[in-house]
Amino acid sequence: MTHFNWLLDGSIVGFYLLATMVAGLMVRKYVSRVDHFLVAGREMNIYLGIASLAATEFGIVTCMYTAQAGYTRGFAGAVPGICNAIAMFVVGYTGFCVKPLRDSGVMTIPELFEQRYGKQVRWLAGVVIVLGGLLNMGVFLRVGG
């Protein structure tokens, strides 16, 4: 059974939270409208888009379980993390699924569904996304614990 080491583990978590807060405070002057926050004013270049995708997908839980898998299983444990990094690069660089979304002028996937299929599908997509997010948070808490 492992225990939370306040010096080592706490400093990692604390550094992550501090770095996130500092980054947020540094860029808050660029965010004045909702579309700036949600879609970066539609002015993001490809390299910043890749970095944003990586930052969104790679959080503290992902960092910790990937590190643990690499430590306990060696290279085999690191393969999923490497595949994830490659997938993020390919999606970011090619614009796969992202380019049509940007070209449509919407800010959210449910909004795209409303354009194509109607309000009921948008509402249903929103409910599915909320439920998926709640379930995901429960899984992450369990994995983190």
Print burial letters for 76-103: b (CB count within 10 Å at least 16), e (below 16).
ebeeebeeeeeebeebbeeeeeeeebee
pLDDT of 123 higher than 90: yes
Question: How high does pLDDT run on average in the chain?
Answer: 83
Q: Where residue 38 falls among pLDDT bands split at 50, 70, 90?
A: confident
Identify the three-state secondary structure at position 107.
Answer: coil
Q: Across residues 118-124, what is the average pLDDT? A: 94
Q: What tokens does 124 get?
A: 């249903």
pLDDT of 93 higher than 60: yes
Q: What tokens does 83 get?
A: 């595949």
pLDDT of 1 higher than 60: no
Q: Say what the pLDDT of residue 118 is.
A: 93
Least-confidence region, from 7-11, 39-43, 108-112, 120-124:
39-43
131-145: per-residue pLDDT in tens?
988 887 777 677 666
Q: Say what the pLDDT of residue 17 is.
A: 93
Query: 13: buried, middle or exposed (CB in 10 Å: 19+, 13-18, 0-12)?
Result: middle
More confident: 135 or 63: 135
Q: Across residues 119-132, what is the average pLDDT? A: 93
Q: Across residues 64-84, what is the average pLDDT? A: 85
Residue 80 neighbours by CB under 8 Å, 6+ apart: 66, 69
pLDDT of 97 higher than 90: no
Amino acid at 109: I
What is the value of pTM for the model shown?
A: 0.55
